Amino acid sequence: MRETIVNPEDLIYPLFVVPDNRARVEIRSMPGVWQNRVREAVDETRRAYDAGIRAVLLFGLPEFKDAIGSASWDPAGPVQAAIEAIKRAVPQMSVIADVCLCEYTDHGHCGVIADQDVDNDATLPLLAKQALSFANAGADFVAPSDMMDGRVAAIRSALDDAQMSEVGIMAYSAKFASGFYGPFREAAESAPQFGDRRTYQMDPANIREALREIELDVEEGADIIMVKPALSYLDVIRAARERFDLPLAAYNVSGEYAMVKAAAERGWIDGTRVMNEILTSIKRAGADLIITYFAVDFASAIR
């Protein structure tokens, strides 16, 4: 009689990829999550596929950083190399590449800086360039997470002009300026060097604005829309599900994962039970897809 069932194929597994000259390192604030070299990213992808997961989301840490994130469109970069290796080793796995400058800039912001703030319009061609590089490497989807206005249209136009209209866009459509991202910034080494991201990410108090942001991405050509974070924004997920017909993703973010892991390690909660409850609540709210660091743990547990 259960009304809501989470299946492994509903989940997207995030992976952090570093250059091969770096060591594989477990992320201190995210037990069980690693910075992987390409070969280890392939191994993790194979493990996820064997558990029933059908999509991975890749984040990259580059060899060098500069003011415009130019390493992000290097065809030999870690994400590009991982896409090619994964598609060779596990061709059935859908590969999604995160598109943003924050991991690649020396200032840690998601776009080009002018007068101590992000220049939205100057950032768009760089995001399109990054997306094209990932698509050329074989990505099935690109996922702009920067929250620049107009970036979905810019990326869609660039992909279409390059005869790659089959590459989809999973847009971080309603991405809130959240305190739940702390562990991710350790994992991606992407903390801002000054200020914060509230000038371009959303106010956590606003749901009507979130729906306007999603509508803009739909009009610009997004194939999948997303709400991030998930757990404190279940009402936004539900509102998006009721208003839009596109596939809807939700990101069960690093802070949500870290809190469960930390409490479970101390014996304060049953970690597996809470994991199941959280993922079920996100799907019950209306998400078709859930991006979660729990993906392999969950798929293994239900088996």
Would residue 129 show up in a list of annotated catalytic residues for this protein? Answer: no
Give tens-digit pLDDT for 159-180: 999 999 999 999 999 999 999 9
Q: Tokens representing 120?
A: 């939205």
**Average pLDDT of the residues in 93-112:** 90
Q: Dig out the tokens for 8 from the structure.
A: 């492994």
Specify burial of residue 39 (Cβ count, 10 A radius: 0-12, 13-18, 19+).
middle
pTM: 0.95
pLDDT 10s digits, 14-66: 999 999 999 999 999 999 999 999 999 999 999 999 999 999 999 999 988 89
Average of pLDDT values for 205-223? Answer: 97
The length of the chain is 303
- What is the DSSP annotation of 246-303? S-EEEEE-HHHHHHHHHHHHTTSS-HHHHHHHHHHHHHHHT-SEEEETTHHHHHHHH-
**Tell me: the pLDDT tens digits for 241-298?**
999 999 999 999 999 999 999 999 999 999 999 999 999 999 999 999 999 999 999 9
In the chain, where does DSSP find H-type helix? 38-50, 78-89, 120-137, 151-161, 182-188, 208-220, 234-243, 254-265, 271-285, 295-302
175 is catalytic: yes
Q: Which of these is catalytic: 65, 87, 129, 228?
A: 228
pLDDT value of position 270 = 97
CB 200 within 8 A of CB 253: no
Look at residue 196 in the predicted model and tell me its pLDDT. 61
198 φ, ψ to 5°? -75, -10
SS3 185: helix
- Cα–Cα dist 193/109, whole Å: 8
Question: Domains in the chain, please, with CATH?
Answer: 8-302 (3.20.20.70)
